[in-house]
């Protein structure tokens, strides 16, 4: 196991009715920007609960943060905060709203053009505006991690950055908020969380027994509850296990002491930027092909995964190959199409486009063994057509 530091400062407030605790975790007298998305929070009563809990606070509302939040939209919120002298941000929504707020938080007092945080990975300067979240869509883990993903609409770039400043001060995670989610978003949430675990687990054996067992526990839970929670999101037993599993999949525990491989996400972000495909669906397209192209590197772990998750038997090679098939089967069960051509007719340009972008960014040796070369990326994308 590699050396590591574990720092998880987010106050994670879980369960039914917890939104009423907001006034206990936001400093009295704070002037709040309440940031949200396209309006789901008005239809499902979450907005009302938040406002009730924040009686007496000065609140300015900022709506319209779109899925795959746009830099251009977020900069408008930055202006509102400066203009009205606000000193706290509350994100109410899914990963896009939370990621958007993370960006807004550091952009307000950033010394320079905040686009550099994305395009040049410029170090964060200036004091970030403190923020907390109310999660309404389990998927990304953004509620308890320190990353953000933002799209620059103008250049069609979807870019991420992170750092300790991006941990929410608190996250209120009430599983009853998922009752209003469309099926598609629940399917997305399960597959996104599943792939987050896989990005940290599906490498090579690294003597991290506990991390492996935690990862496998999350995968098994997602397989167990996934199809059921899509059909019945009001079932608290299912909803609570779904929400907690998604947080645990990407809250900085599984990557401790191990080398990870985020290539599926890196390629997936390009597919969203190019074609507007939902984040999780891009992962379902890429992950199985990545495991196939990188079979020799990942074989031992694929075998472990096949035995422990799907109870497969046979030779190691047989088990490892069948484990990839089982993964695709699960993605199909979760409503995913797994071929790029099922989403767009314009797919043939993607392999060249993505490889060129990666080369321009200097991403020439990806993966846990740095052996995912531009040629391999090309192969993986082509295999996904
Ligand atoms: O905008 P509103 O009206 O709220 O509707 C949203 C949106 O249309 C809707 N929704 C959310 N909660 C709802 C609801 N509808 C009904 N009832 C509710 N309770 O769901 C739609 C999708 O929301 P979005 O926030 O975009 O989805 P998700 O949580 O999947 O977030 C995706 C974004 O997170 C990034 C992705 O790249 C993408 O931009 N990710 C962030 C990560 C991180 N920060 O660590 C890691 C992930 O790998 C991912 O990349
Ligand atoms: Zn993801």
> ipTM beyond 0.85?
yes
Contact 16, 72 (CB under 8 A): no
Could you tell me which of 175, 81, 84 has the C-alpha nearest to residue 128? 81
CA distance 138 to 141: 7
CA distance 87 to 90: 10
Strands lying side by side in the sheet with 58-62: 11-14, 170-173, 131-135, 88-93, 31-35, 58-62
CA atoms within 13 A on the CB side of 228: 13
CA of 281 to the centre of ligand 2 (A): 10
Distance of CA 347 to the CA centre of its chain: 24
Angle at 15 between CA 9 and CA 20, to 5 degrees: 85
Could you tell me which of 199, 166, 159 has the C-alpha nearest to residue 291? 199
Contact 97, 37 (CB under 8 A): yes
Relative to the CA of 137, which ligand 1 atom is closest? 12
Contact 340, 380 (CB under 8 A): no
Threshold 0.90, pTM exceeds: yes
Low-confidence ranges of the chain (pLDDT < 50): none
> Is residue 36 helix, strand or coil?
coil
Measure the N-to-C terminal CA separation of the chain; round to a whole number of Å. 37
Contact 64, 6 (CB under 8 A): no
Could you tell me which of 175, 71, 172, 168 has the C-alpha nearest to residue 117? 71
Contact 189, 223 (CB under 8 A): no
Relative to the CA of 280, which ligand 1 atom is closest? 30
Q: Which helix (H) or strand (E) holds 42?
A: helix 40-43
Distances (CA, A) of 86 to 57, 59, 60, 234, 323: 11, 9, 8, 36, 51
Contact 152, 184 (CB under 8 A): no
Pocket-forming residues, ligand 1, beta carbon under 6 Å: 37-41, 44, 67-68, 93-97, 99, 136-137, 139-142, 145, 147-149, 177-178, 180-181, 185, 188, 192, 250, 265, 279
The maximal CA–CA distance of the chain, rounded, in angstroms, is: 66
Q: What pLDDT score was predicted for residue 48?
A: 98
Q: What is the DSSP string of 303-324?
A: HHHHHHHH---S-HHHHHHHHH
The tokens for 5 are 């530091």
Contact 236, 175 (CB under 8 A): yes
CA of 247 to the centre of ligand 2 (A): 12
Q: Which ligand is nearest to the CA of 189?
A: 1
The tokens for 145 are 């991690």
CA of 3 to the centre of ligand 1 (A): 33
- Indicate which residue's Cα is closest to atom 26 of ligand 1: 67
CA of 258 to the centre of ligand 2 (A): 19
CA distance 15 to 37: 22
Q: Which residues contact 298 (CB under 8 A, 6 or more apart)?
A: 202, 203, 204, 291, 320
Domains of the chain with bracketed CATH: 11-177 (3.40.50.1970), 182-383 (1.20.1090.10)
């Amino acid at each position: 196991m590699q050396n590591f530091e574990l720092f998880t400062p987010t106050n994670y407030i879980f369960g039914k009715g917890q939104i009423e605790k907001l006034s206990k975790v936001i400093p009295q007298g704070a002037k709040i920007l309440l940031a949200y998305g396209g309006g789901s929070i008005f239809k499902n009563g979450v907005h009302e609960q938040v406002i009730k809990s924040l009686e007496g606070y000065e609140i300015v509302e900022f709506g319209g943060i779109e899925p795959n939040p746009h830099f251009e939209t977020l900069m408008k919120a930055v202006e509102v905060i400066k203009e009205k002298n606000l000193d706290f941000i509350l994100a109410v929504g899914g990963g896009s709203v939370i990621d958007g707020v993370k960006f807004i938080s550091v952009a307000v007092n950033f010394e320079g053009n905040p686009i550099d945080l994305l395009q040049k990975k410029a170090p964060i300067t200036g004091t970030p505006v403190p923020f907390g979240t109310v999660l309404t869509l389990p998927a990304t883990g953004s509620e308890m991690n320190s990353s953000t993903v933002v799209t620059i609409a103008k250049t069609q770039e979807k870019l991420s950055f992170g750092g300790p400043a991006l941990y929410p001060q608190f996250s209120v995670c009430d599983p009853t908020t998922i009752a209003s989610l469309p099926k598609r978003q629940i399917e997305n949430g399960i597959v996104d969380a599943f792939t987050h675990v896989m990005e940290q687990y599906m490498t090579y054996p690294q003597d991290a027994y506990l991390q492996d067992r935690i990862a496998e526990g999350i995968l098994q839970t997602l397989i167990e509850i996934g199809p059921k929670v899509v059909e019945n999101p009001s079932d608290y037993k299912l909803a609570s296990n779904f929400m907690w599993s998604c947080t645990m999949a990407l809250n900085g525990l599984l990557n401790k002491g191990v080398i990870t491989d985020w290539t599926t996400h890196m390629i997936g972000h390009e597919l969203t930027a190019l074609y507007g495909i939902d984040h999780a669906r891009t992962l379902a397209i890429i992950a199985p092909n990545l495991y196939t192209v990188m079979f020799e590197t990942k074989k031992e772990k694929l075998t472990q995964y096949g035995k422990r998750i799907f109870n497969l038997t046979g030779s190691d090679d047989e088990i490892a190959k069948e484990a990839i098939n089982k993964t695709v089967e699960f993605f199909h069960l979760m409503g995913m199409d797994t071929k790029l051509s099922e989403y767009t007719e314009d797919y043939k340009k993607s392999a060249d486009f993505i490889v060129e972008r990666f080369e321009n960014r200097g991403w020439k040796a990806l993966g846990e063994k740095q052996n995912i070369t531009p040629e391999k990326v090309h192969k993986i994308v082509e295999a996904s057509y």
